[in-house]
Amino acid sequence: MMKAVPFYQHGPVDMLRYEDFPEPEPAKGQVVIDVEYCGVNHLDIWTRMGITGKKIRLPHICGCDIVGAVKKSAAGFDAGERVMVYPGASCGKCTHCKAGRENLCSQFAIIGGTSDYNGGYAAQVAVPARNVVRLGKMKIDLKTAATLAVSYLTAWNMLSANSAKKGKSLLVYGAASGVGMATIQLARAMGVSTIITTAAGPEKAKFGKKLGAHHVIDRSETKDIAGEVFARLGGKGVDIVIDHVGAATWQTSIASLMPGGRMAVCGMTSGNDATVPVRMFYSKQVAMTGALLGTKAQLVELLRLVQAKKIKPVIDSVFPLKEAGQAQDRMEKGLHAGKILLNCRR
């Protein structure tokens, strides 16, 4: 048996139970990993609460930002190898998977999230070998690695797909959120000329500036985000908006763009059903792209960038595994600034 934090039915945070749980055994083509750290994400909360239209096998263990060392392998890995997990589970056989675009696979789901694979809120986890990324001699510590596979990979996908580079400007919501922090740090590393972000209150505004944002709009002082964007850019909109909020921000996102701007969407924290100002959308000739995580190849690219540019994600807090509920509660209440991790060896 091992220590783990499963839930047996959907609901509030007290559905999470720290208990003894059967150790996983590697099936054919799988690897068992001793989990060192697991990042906490909003997806963990949505999975625990239950996502409409998504059924998963219960009991279920959350956690998709997984790093550690190989314990057992039926797929050619050596015991003790430092590894991280690419969290996108797919069929591995379809045209998209064979082309390295596994996040377009019809069976694509997230390990520890919307798939039946248990995740990293546990001492051990079993995952397909094709999802294991060797860290080898990379000069990346495991805490940093535990921040990258979800928020940073998604941000990297969106920035790359929308040609973020020198001479471009962008807006991203929520400097203290996972995608917000990742976007700011990666955009700086990519040379983006003007980065604008939002924050809830002066402390999180300071956090956004410290990360490298050129302008921070404090939502406690103004609700007119688009107006502030235009004011700070001399009457122009931004080239790119990174929207991970959903229903509450789509109109603001489109209003904040310059003609021909691009809107990248990856989340629905505020709701699934957004209203689009159609006239503004087509008049500005906005291009909209969606991002579901990213590919394993993009994760490897991201690791190289993080190492080369010495990017250091901010760790808000590290909770022992037994306090997974407190960790999720901190995220649900919006008290964090940076990444929350679980130490799965404690």
Which 8-state DSSP code applies to residue 122? B
Q: Can you give the pLDDT at residue 191?
A: 97
- Is 158 found in the same domain as 281? yes
> In this structure, is residue 143 part of a structural domain?
yes
Residues 326 and 271 in one domain: no
CATH number at residue 269: 3.40.50.720
Closest Cα to residue 45, out of 243, 340, 343?
340
Q: Are residues 129 and 197 in the same domain?
A: no
Q: Mean pLDDT, to the nearest integer, of 298-308? A: 96
Q: What is the domain count for the chain?
A: 2
What is the pLDDT, as a whole number, of residue 175? Answer: 95
Are residues 102 and 237 both part of a single domain?
Answer: no
Higher pLDDT, 242 or 274: 242
Residue 272 confidence (pLDDT): 79
Q: Is residue 125 part of a domain?
A: yes
In a domain, 139, yes or no: yes
Between 310 and 73, the more confident residue is 310
Do 141 and 27 reside in the same domain of the chain?
Answer: yes
Confidence of residue 268 (pLDDT cuts 50, 70, 90): confident
Q: Say yes or no: 52 and 126 in one domain.
A: yes
Q: Categorize the per-residue pLDDT at 73 as very low, low, confident or very high, splitting at 50, 70 and 90.
A: confident
Residues 91/105, Cβ–Cβ less than 8 Å: yes
Per-residue pLDDT band for 304 (boundaries 50, 70, 90) equals: very high
143 & 175 share domain? no
Residues 101-155 have pLDDT tens digits of 999 999 999 999 989 999 999 999 999 999 999 998 888 999 999 999 999 999 9
Judge if 88 and 198 occupy the same domain: no
Claim: this prediction has a pTM higher than 0.85: yes
* Structure tokens given for 308: 């080369």
pLDDT of residue 331: 96
Residues 192 and 126 in one domain: no
Report residue 163: phi and psi, to 5°.
Answer: 55, 45
Q: Could you tell me the pLDDT band of residue 172, with boundaries at 50, 70 and 90?
A: very high
Residue whose entry in the numeric block shows the structure tokens 């990856």: 266
**CA–CA dist 35, 241 (Å, integer):** 35
pLDDT tens-digit readout, 329-340: 999 999 999 999
Buried b / exposed e along 296-310 (16+ C-beta atoms within 10 A): bebbeebbeebeeee
| Domain membership flag for residue 160 | yes
Three-class secondary structure of residue 226 per DSSP = helix
For residue 13, what are the CA distances in angstroms to 142, 161, 322? Answer: 26, 36, 13
Quick one: 200 exposed, middle or buried, by C-beta within 10 A (0-12, 13-18, 19+)?
Answer: middle
In a domain, 182, yes or no: yes
Residue 96 belongs to domain spanning = 2-147+313-343
In this structure, is residue 216 part of a structural domain? yes
pLDDT at 271: 74
Judged against a pLDDT cut of 90, whether residue 38 lies above it is answered with yes
Position 54 scores a pLDDT of 87
| Residues 170 and 267 reside in one and the same domain | yes
| Statement to judge: residues 69 and 139 lie in one domain | yes
Quick check: 65 pLDDT over 90? yes
Q: Do 68 and 170 fall into the same domain? A: no
Q: What is the CATH number of the domain that holds 329?
A: 3.90.180.10
pLDDT band at 76 (very low <50, low <70, confident <90, very high): confident
For 174-201, write each residue's pLDDT tens digit: 999 999 999 999 999 999 999 999 999 9
